Structure 1
C-alpha cells in the first residue's frame, strides 16, 4: 500500500504513516492496523474535499454539459457516478485519482457475481430480490451506453471494449455500493460558532459527524395488497423521476462519494473505534477510543444484518449472540415478512372482503413489510395489521374515521395469524434449519465454497429468528390456553364446593 500512501500525500492528503498501515488481515481482506498505541481523538488521516470522487468533483459532468447530463438521466441514481469513475479510470495516469483507482478491488464475493447454483442457496432470504442485476443492466443499456456512444470525443470507440463494458459497469457499481460515503456539501455558517467566535471541540464533532452508513439509503418499497411484495427500485438506480419530483427531501446522488483512504478501514459489529468527520475543506478519520498497537482500526457500516453485509460487501459478521438466541451470529440480523402472508392467514378465518382494510393500511401506515429481529418478538406493526384485518364492521368504521391504527394488543386471533405467517415464511427456504445445522457441524471436515458458506450463514441466521419467534408465539398460546383452563377449573372447583356445603347443611 506504499503506492497508495505516496499518491495520497502527493494530492495533499495527510496521513500519519508512523501510526497506521494498510495490510492483508486473515479473514478480513485488506484493512488498517495501528502501528503504535493510539489515544482517543487522534487524527489518523485528513482528506481534502476535492480529493473525494463524486459527480461534483469529476470534470466529466461539466464536459458533457448539464442539459445533456440530465437528458440521459445521469442526474438520477448512481449511473452518473458510475460513468464518472469509469471515465476517470480510462484516463489512466492523467486522472488525479489514478493512484486511488488502481488500489480498488477488481473482483467481489457479492451475490451480484454469483452463478445461479450459488444464488439458489439464498432462496428465501432478504438478499435475492435486492441484488438488482437486471435493473443495473437496464440502466447500462438505457442510460450509460447512449451517452458514451454519443460523445466519441470523450469516449473513443476503441476504449469501449476495455473501459465501458457491462462487466466493468457491475464492478464499478459494486465498488460504490461497498465503499462509498454520504458526503454532503459543507453547511457551516454563523450557527457553527459560539458567542465568542470560536468553535469548541464538542461542537466541532457534532457539526462534522458524517453519516455512519457507507452507502446511500436504499429506496423503499411500494406495497401491493395480497400480492407478493416487490422492490420497485434497485439500490443502484435510486428514486425514479416521479418519486424524485414528489419527495424534495430525497437523497441527492451528488452526495455519494468515494473517499480515498477512508474506505480502507474494515468494519465489524460493535467494533467501531474510528469515525469519519468533516470540516469545511477537509474530512478527517479520528479515533473514537484508544487503540492498542497491532489492533485493527475499525470504521462502521452502521451494523447492518448479514443479508445486507453479504449483498453490499461480500462478507458476514459472526459474534456472540444474546438470549433468546445463542452461539455465534449477527445481533443485527433481521427477517423481512411481507404483509401478504398475514392477509393469506386472515382470509382463512375471515369471511369478509379485506381489500378496503388493506388499502387503508397501505395509505395510512405505508408499510407492507414487517421486520423481526434477534429478540424474536412480534413486530408491533404486524400485530396492529392483524388486529385490523379482524375488526368488526362497526369498529373498523371508527378506526377509518379517526385514521388511527389499532393498538398492537396481542390476542388469540393475532397469535393464530402470527403462527401461520411464521410457518409460511419458514417454508420459503429450500432447506430446513436442521439441514443447515448439519452442514454447519460438518463445515470443518467438509469445507464449503465461500459463497455457499456465506449463504448458509445468512439463511441459518434468519431461520433461527423465525423459529425463535414461532416458539415465543407457541408459548404465548400455551399460556393463554393454560389461563383459560385454570379459570375453568377454578369455576368448577368453586361450584363443587358450594354444592358440597349445601349438602352438608342439608344433612345436618
Structure 2
C-alpha cells in the first residue's frame, strides 16, 4: 500500500482547554467501535490526561511492519463526505480551505453530526500563536521566522473574500440555535487551526481529511515509530480503488458515460463562453482528461483559466516546454529575447489572497452513482488506512508519529509547539537584504538577465537535483502539516516574495541556512549564478546537460562550486569545444570568496535581530522550563529563538574567511 501523508499535530501536543473527564475518552472509544475504527489493545493503549490524548505501547515491544490500528476511510471527515459536500463542490472550493469549511459546518451542528463524539474530543482550537493572549509571549517571536502577523492577515483575507460570502449565501445551513450570535471569523480561525494541525492527505478522492485515532499520536522529528499507510491511487470520482471502480476504468465505456470520441481526428477548442458554462465537475473532468491537474484551483474561475490554457498550449503546438534553445538557435541566447518581465523568483506570500490547497490534493468532481452488478454476490471490500510500526517500540513507551520534516517555525505556527532538538530547523534568508547586497556589486541589467535565468530554469533544475524528482514537480522547502505531504497554503513563510528594483518578483523560498548553519543548495547556486563571469553563464544557457551537472555538483559539494568555462575559440576564430569544467576549492577563486562574504553578512544581519536580548538568561530559563515540564507559549517561543541563534552562529563560523 502507498503511504498516506499527514497534515499535523504536536510533540507533546499542547491543548487549548484541558479536560480530565474519562467520559470524553469513553465516548470517543465507543464512537471508534461504532464506526469500525479498530486498534490492537494488546499492542497499544490510548491515554487521556489533562485534556491531552497520547498513545503508548503495552508491556511488550513492537516490531516494524506491525499493523496496530485500522481506520476506514469512510470514517474520516473530509470535504468529500461532509454533509455539505455537494455545496462545497458547486462553489468550486478545494483543498484545505474546502476541508476547513466542512469542519466549520460539522462543528456548528456537532450534536447532529456523524462525527459528534469525535468532534467533542477535540480542543476548541489548536494552541498556535494565533490564539496567544500574552503580548509579551508574542513579542518573543518578533525576530524569528514564525510569521504571526502575515499568517493572520492571510486568514482574514480568506475569510472576507471566500468564507464569509459562502456562509452568507448559505445562512440557513450555518445558523446555530435560535438567537445565538456567532463570531464566524473566530470560528473559522479555530477550524483552520484544527485542520492545519491534524489533517492528513488521505488519497486522490478525499484529499485532506481529519483522520480519527491517527491524530492521537504525538510528533517526534526524526524519531517517529509509526506511519499511516493507505491506497492513495484511487478514482478521483468515487474514491474506489482502481480495480473496483466503474467510473473511468471500466471497459464498458458507453455504460459508464466516460467514453472518449476516438473518431475525432482534430480537436476543436471550445470558446471561453462555452467553458464558462460548464459545471465545476465538467471542468475538472476535462482538465483531468487533458493531462492537467485541478490542484491549487480554489474556485471555478481558476478551473476555467486552466482549461483554456490547456487548449491554447495544444493549439500553439508547444512540444517542448523545458525552454531550452533548439540547436538551430544556438548562436542566440534566450536571455536576450525575453519579452515578459521576470517571472516569480521569492515565495508567494504565505496564504496571500486565495487559499490554494496545501498538499495539492486532487479534489475532483463526484462520480455518478456507481453501477451495481446483480450477479456479484461478493461483498465490497472497504478501503481503509493502517497505522503501521516503522521503528521498534519499547514496552510501555509513547508511540510517536511524524507530521512532516518541519522547522520549529512551522511547527509552532501551525501546530502550537516546537522542539529543542529538531534536525529540520532552518533560518530563512531575507530576500530583500540579499537583493540589496547583490545590487551593490551587480548592475541592474545583469541582475535582470540572471534573475530571468534563475526563475525560468535555475531554480527548477536545482530543485530536481535536490529532490530527485522531475523539474515539473512543485517544490517546497517543506511540505505541510501532519505527515509528509499535506500542505496548507497558509503555511508559515517557507517561501517569500519580494519585488526587485525592476518591479519583478523573485521566488527564493528555498534560501536558508540549514540546521548546521550551511547555506541551502538553492542559495549557493543562486549566488554563484549572480556572481559568475558572463561567458560562463552563457555556456549554461546553451547547454542544459552542463547546467544539470553543475546542479548535481552544488547539491553534493556545497561551496566547492563548479567552475563553468566559456567556449574557447581556435586560431581561425571558429568556435571550439568548451574547456573542461572543474570544481573550485572553497578557499580559491574570487567568486567563492564573494559568496562567503555575502553569506557571512547575511547571517550577521539576521542575528542582529536578536540584539538586546540576554541569550544566556533565556537559555537558563529554558532549562528550568524543561526541568519543571512547563508546557506554555513561552516554552515554545524560547525553543525557536535558541535554535535560530545556534544556527546563525554556526553560519558565521562556517563562512568566516581570512580576508
TM-score, length basis structure 1: 0.69
Given that 1:304 and 1:333 are in contact with CA atoms closer than 8 Å, whether structure 2 keeps it comes out as yes
- Per the alignment, residue 607 of structure 2 pairs with 426
2:644 to 429, 441, 462: 462
- Per the alignment, residue 252 of structure 1 pairs with 362
- Per the alignment, residue 184 of structure 1 pairs with 203
- Of 113-122 and 94-103, the range deviating more from structure 2: 113-122
Matched position secondary structure for 2:609? coil
CA distance in 2, matches of 1:161, 1:229: 45
Matched position secondary structure for 2:349? coil
1:166-315 correspondence to structure 2 within 5 Å: 166-185=185-204, 208=230, 231-234=348-351, 238-239=355-356, 250-252=360-362, 281-315=383-417
Change beyond 3 A, Cα 1:463–1:55? same
Change beyond 3 A, Cα 1:3–1:254? farther
CA distance in 1, matches of 2:362, 2:607: 38
Offset of 1:5 from its aligned partner? Answer: 0.5
CA distance in 1, matches of 2:442, 2:526: 14
1:318-337 correspondence to structure 2 within 5 Å: 318=420, 329-337=421-429
Per-residue Cα deviation, 1:30-78 (whole angstroms, up to 9, x for no partner):
211223315323332221111000011112122x3743x22xxxx1343
- Of 422-431 and 441-450, the range deviating more from structure 2: 441-450
Matched position secondary structure for 2:82? coil
Q: Does 2:84 align with 1:84?
A: no
Change beyond 3 A, Cα 1:280–1:437? farther
- Per the alignment, residue 36 of structure 1 pairs with 59
CA distance in 2, matches of 1:106, 1:375: 37
Matched position secondary structure for 1:132? helix
- Per the alignment, residue 618 of structure 2 pairs with 439
Offset of 1:100 from its aligned partner? Answer: 0.3
Offset of 1:182 from its aligned partner? Answer: 0.4
1:359 to 452, 475, 489: 452
CA distance in 1, matches of 2:173, 2:161: 19
Offset of 1:302 from its aligned partner? Answer: 2.3
1:453 to 635, 646, 653: 635
Given that 1:112 and 1:131 are in contact with CA atoms closer than 8 Å, whether structure 2 keeps it comes out as no
1:380 to 517, 521, 535: 521
Given that 1:136 and 1:237 are in contact with CA atoms closer than 8 Å, whether structure 2 keeps it comes out as no
Matched position secondary structure for 2:400? strand
Offset of 1:239 from its aligned partner? Answer: 2.2
Structure with greater helix share of residues: 1
Given that 2:407 and 2:424 are in contact with CA atoms closer than 8 Å, whether structure 1 keeps it comes out as yes
CA distance in 2, matches of 1:8, 1:77: 26
Give aligned pairs, total.
402
CA distance in 2, matches of 1:393, 1:418: 22
> Which structure 2 segments of 5+ residues have no match?
1-24, 207-226, 234-294, 298-340, 366-380, 460-506, 555-560, 562-585, 587-591
> Which structure 1 segments of 5+ residues have no match?
188-204, 212-216, 256-278, 319-328, 482-508
- Of 145-154 and 99-108, the range deviating more from structure 2: 145-154
CA distance in 2, matches of 1:291, 1:13: 22
CA distance in 2, matches of 1:444, 1:207: 37
Change beyond 3 A, Cα 1:9–1:24? closer
- Per the alignment, residue 468 of structure 2 pairs with none
How large is the RMSD of aligned CA atoms in angstroms? 3.9
Offset of 1:339 from its aligned partner? Answer: 3.9
Change beyond 3 A, Cα 1:288–1:340? same
1:104 to 109, 122, 141: 122
Offset of 1:332 from its aligned partner? Answer: 1.6
Given that 1:78 and 1:236 are in contact with CA atoms closer than 8 Å, whether structure 2 keeps it comes out as no
TM-score, length basis structure 2: 0.54
CA distance in 2, matches of 1:106, 1:58: 19
1:46-85 correspondence to structure 2 within 5 Å: 46-62=70-86, 64=87, 66-67=89-90, 69-70=91-92, 75-85=93-103
Matched position secondary structure for 2:394? coil
Offset of 1:15 from its aligned partner? Answer: 2.8
Instruction: Kindly name which structure, 1 or 2, has the bigger radius of gyration based on alpha carbons.
Output: 1
Given that 1:9 and 1:15 are in contact with CA atoms closer than 8 Å, whether structure 2 keeps it comes out as no
Matched position secondary structure for 2:77? coil
Change beyond 3 A, Cα 1:113–1:44? same
CA distance in 2, matches of 1:359, 1:295: 53
- Per the alignment, residue 324 of structure 1 pairs with none
Change beyond 3 A, Cα 1:439–1:152? closer
Matched position secondary structure for 2:652? helix
- Per the alignment, residue 530 of structure 2 pairs with 389
Matched position secondary structure for 2:388? strand
Matched position secondary structure for 1:3? helix
Offset of 1:419 from its aligned partner? Answer: 1.7
Change beyond 3 A, Cα 1:162–1:105? farther
Offset of 1:232 from its aligned partner? Answer: 2.8
Given that 2:296 and 2:360 are in contact with CA atoms closer than 8 Å, whether structure 1 keeps it comes out as no
* Larger relative contact order (CA 8 Å, sep ≥ 6): 2
Given that 1:337 and 1:371 are in contact with CA atoms closer than 8 Å, whether structure 2 keeps it comes out as yes
Per-residue Cα deviation, 1:367-396 (whole angstroms, up to 9, x for no partner):
514122122223333232222222334334
Change beyond 3 A, Cα 1:339–1:183? same
- Per the alignment, residue 508 of structure 2 pairs with 368
2:111 to 78, 81, 93: 93
Change beyond 3 A, Cα 1:234–1:469? same
Change beyond 3 A, Cα 1:254–1:469? farther
